[in-house]
Every structure is written in structure tokens, then in C-alpha cells.
Amino acid sequence: MGTFEAAAAMVLRWDVMITILAASAFGMVVGAIPGLTATMAIALLVPITFFMDPIPAVGAMIACSAMAIFAGDIPSTLLRMPGTPASAAYTDECYAMTRKGQAETALGANVLFSALGGLFGTAVLIVSAPLLAEIALGFSSFEYFWLALLGLACAIFIGTGSPLKGMISLFLGLFVASIGLDNPGGIPRFTFGNAELMSGIDFIPAMIGLFAVSEVLRSMATGAKDWEVKQTSIGNPLRGWGKMFVTWWPQQIRGNITGTAIGILPGAGADIAAWVAYAMSRKFSKTPEKFGTGHVEGIIESTSANNAALAGAWVPALVFGIPGDSITAIVIGVLYLKGLNPGPTLFLNNPQTIYAVFGIFIIANLAMIPLGLLALKAGTALLRVPRRVMMPVILLFCVVGAYAVNNSLYGVLLMLVFGVLGFIMEEHDVPIAPCVLGIVLGKMLEESFVTSMIKADGNLLAFFERPIAAGLGALTLAVLLMPLWSALGRRRAAA
């Protein structure tokens, strides 16, 4: 059997299809609830994927994240509250359309262009990942060190409002990654004699805590008040699809390209893609004055971009094991658990699995159109469930999920600690995403650095001796030094 046939046989199974369907429904529920992010949906889904075969598990995560990012547009449009941060860029625009009585046009555009954006990102993933994997086969610890550092640098300087606080968050994550026995010396580090800490901090309970428990605590702080749904019934969202497609195709393509490119960049994901795409749309628009008044142009470009970014983020995740965003950060953890260690060798040893993943991306994005239309109906009903009932139940789900990772209450304790940490961090405007990337990339960063230094006998210049390493090093240093450069420029201009 050839690779494609083997991949098709892995994907076209009833259990995989049902999993994709169920995960889409789950992603829709979490994405449509304001405050609950797509990353949180994935963190909560992980304990369930433990009990699945690798392909349905990966399928569940792809379908869930794609649906959650789209479903985030529903409360954006109806309540002016972004369901996920990826919708925040064009929330006001969508809501302005609702106020003009055009909610169905905005939501229809969100369904159609989310799916098309996802398919575009998938196409780029399919074409570029195997090519990059060929190149990555020649990588040594020097290149991996720079790649890990580049991912972290992008997360701080591109992904956050305050790079300084982003850096504090990153160092916190790197510290968490350094706990345990798994280090170059093989000695217990920061375990304080605790046997549970020897194996390090379990990633999944930490994620559930940082993303989900912190949000539950935030809504407990504000009393979990119900949302006020302004428009409860929506018309036919299919109306005007053809016209929108014909009129706005350049915007759509541009959004797709922006989104995929930002997704591929390690450390930056769907939310940044949407902001950049919306800003670009306005800049290049023939009618920029219409932006903010309920104009569909910017919505199309940015809703295309955020879903395209999702697929783009899988490129560095699969090829180098470097997460493109916080969702793929969690996915990488799951891939390791499932024995599908990401990296170029995965393309050599397990090509059928890679093609199966591509296949699932296509199916999940195609399924988004019918499921998305259903979600529009379900989403409006969901927003009427009392939040005071929903939040405690979500916390119970977190507790069970954190327990299920190792069947131990220690996971629940970790979840609680990280929940409080996430809550305090957000209170102080310290972003969470760099911390997550630090936890995921910490080990790779340390290992590649120490191995390289031992190989080079302490010669730091060795990090620039290989051509690709030198290129990546220069790029990383540029990202790191850019803010310093612009700050100096501002100071000079002010003087």
C-alpha cells in the first residue's frame, strides 16, 4: 500500500469522523463562550485525547481549534464580546454590522472565509512542510538552538503589548521547564526532595490551570454575570456569499497569505494574524472611511487570516517541534505522548501519519461550512445559558481533566497552582503565551545550548559558523534588537 492509500485508510474511518464531529462541537461551545479561548478548548480536550489512537487524537485537536476560532466570531457579532482573542481585531466591525441589522452577512462571511482561510493555510502546510523537513534533516544543535530562541523572541516582541512583561513571563516558563531530573547533569533541580517534582512539571495540568482555571477565577471575581444578547434570531447567512466572494477576493487572498505567514512564524498565532490583517485591509482599502461603520471588507480579510494562521502554525510544529502558537504548543506535547515525536524524521519514518494529518486538516475545514452554519443557531442559544451555572461546571471539567493526565490528585493541585499564577499574571498585564512557550521550548533550548557549547568547547562563535545557523542567528538577533533600535530612534527624534 502506498503512503497516500495508507494515510487515507487512517483518516477515512467512522471513529475518526465521529471524533472530528464531536471535537468540532466542543470547539464551537468553548469558542462561542466569551472569555474561553481556543487554546483553552485544546487544553481541556487533551485529557480526552489520551484515550484515543494518535490520528483521531490529532484530528480532534485540529477540528476543535479550527471551529473554536470561527465560533469566537459569534459573540463578537452578537454581543460585541470576542469569543476568542483571535476575533478581537474585528469585533467592533462585526457588531457595527449587527447594529445595522446585517448580523447574518457578518456571520455568513465569517463561516465562508474562515473555512477558505483554513484550506489555504492547509495547502501551504502540505507544500512547505515536507520541503522544510528535507532541509531540517541537516540541522544540528546549533540550528535548533536558534530556532527555539527565535520562537521565544517572536513570542515576546511580536506577540505581546509589553515586551518587558512578556520577557518576565517567558523566564517564568523557562524556570518551570527547568524543574526536575531531565537536564544535562541529570541531577534533581528545584525539586526540594519532592518525588512528584522529579519528573518535572506536568505540562497539561499547567495549561489547564493557566488558560481555563484563571478564566473561571476571573469570572468568579466579577460575579459571572449573564450576557445581554441583543439580536436573538439571525436571517439566512448564506445570502450574499457569491457576491462577497467575487467582490472581495483580493482581500481574501491577502488575508490568507498574511495569516499563513504569521502562523508559520514561531510564537505568533491567530490573534496577531487577525490584527495585522485588519490593519492591512484598512491601509490598502479604497474606502478606509467605511471601516468601523459595519463594513465587511476588513472582516473578510481578518477572519481569513486567523484560520489560515492555525494551519500555518503547524508548519514549524511538525517540521522542527517548535510551536507556531500556544495551540500548537499543546499539540506538540500530545504528539510526544502519542509517540509521534515532531521533527524532520517524522516525515521520513512516518510519512503516512503526516499525510493523514494533512487529510484531517482538509476535512475539518470543509466540514466547518455546514457545521459552522449549525453553530450559528446553536451559538445564539448557548449564550443564553446562565454563566453562574456554566463557570462552576467548567471548573469541574478542569479538575477531572487535570486528574486524568496521570490519574493523580497531584495534577489537580498543579492545575490549581497554575490557575492562581495565570490569574495573578493577567491581573498585572503579564501575558501568558510567552510563559507557555517557555515551558514547551525550555528543554530544547537548554539541551541544544549545552550540547552546542560542549561540542564547540565553549566557543560562542560556533553558533554562527554553519550557514543556516548563521542566518537564523542573525534573524533572531534582529528580532531581539529591533525594539531597542526603534526605542533609540524615538529618543533621538524626541531630542
List residues near another protein by CB under 8 A: 47-48, 50-51, 164-165, 167-168, 171, 174-175, 178, 183-187, 189-190, 216-217, 220-224, 386, 388-389, 391-393, 395-397, 399-400, 403-404, 407, 409, 412-413, 416, 420, 423, 427-428, 442, 445-446, 449-450, 453-454, 458
Q: Within 10 Å of residue 185's Cβ, how many Cβ atoms? A: 8
- Calculate Rg over the CA atoms of the chain: 22
Distance, CA of 473 to CA of 452 (rounded, Å) = 14
| Residues with Cβ within 8 Å of residue 359, at least 6 apart in sequence | 7, 8, 11
Cα–Cα distance for residue pair 264/238, rounded to 1 Å: 31
Name which of 12 and 381 has its Cβ closer to another protein.
381
In sequence order, which residues have a C-beta less than 8 Å from that of residue 285 and are 6 or more positions away? Answer: 291, 297, 298
Q: Which is nearer to another protein, 409 or 488 (CB)?
A: 409
Q: Would you say 100 or 490 has its CB closer to another protein?
A: 490
User: What is the grid cell recorded at 11?
Assistant: 483518516
Write down the least CB distance from residue 493 to another protein, Å. 19
Tell me how far, at minimum, the Cβ of 39 lies from another protein, in Å: 21
**Shortest distance, position 484 Cβ to another protein, whole Å:** 11
Choice between 61 and 363, CB closer to another protein:
61
Please state the closest distance from residue 349 (CB atom) to another protein, in A: 29
Q: Closer to another protein by CB, 113 or 410: give it.
A: 410
Nearer to another protein, 220 or 373 (CB): 220
Cα(386)–Cα(342) distance, rounded to whole angstroms?
A: 41
- Give least dist CB 325 to another protein, A: 23
Q: From the CB of 15, what's the least distance to another protein, in Å?
A: 13
Residue 160: CB minimum distance to another protein, A: 13
Q: Which residue lies nearer to another protein by CB, 190 or 249?
A: 190
Q: How far is the CB of 442 from another protein (least distance, A)?
A: 8
Compare residues 115 and 416 and give the one whose CB is closer to another protein.
416
Consecutive H or E run containing 336: helix 326-337
Distance from C-alpha of 252 to C-alpha of 393, rounded to nearest angstrom: 39
Q: Which is nearer to another protein, 22 or 475 (CB)?
A: 22
Hey, CA dihedral for 449, 452, 453, 454, is it positive or negative?
positive
- Whole-angstrom distance, CA of residue 122 vs CA of residue 260: 9
CB of 424 to another protein, least distance (A): 8
DSSP string over 419-483: HHHHHHHHHTT--SHHHHHHHHHHHHHHHHHHHHHHHTTT-GGGGGTSHHHHHHHHHHHHHHHHH
Distance of alpha carbon 345 from alpha carbon 43, whole angstroms: 26
Yes or no: say if 154 and 148 are a contact pair by the CB < 8 Å rule: no
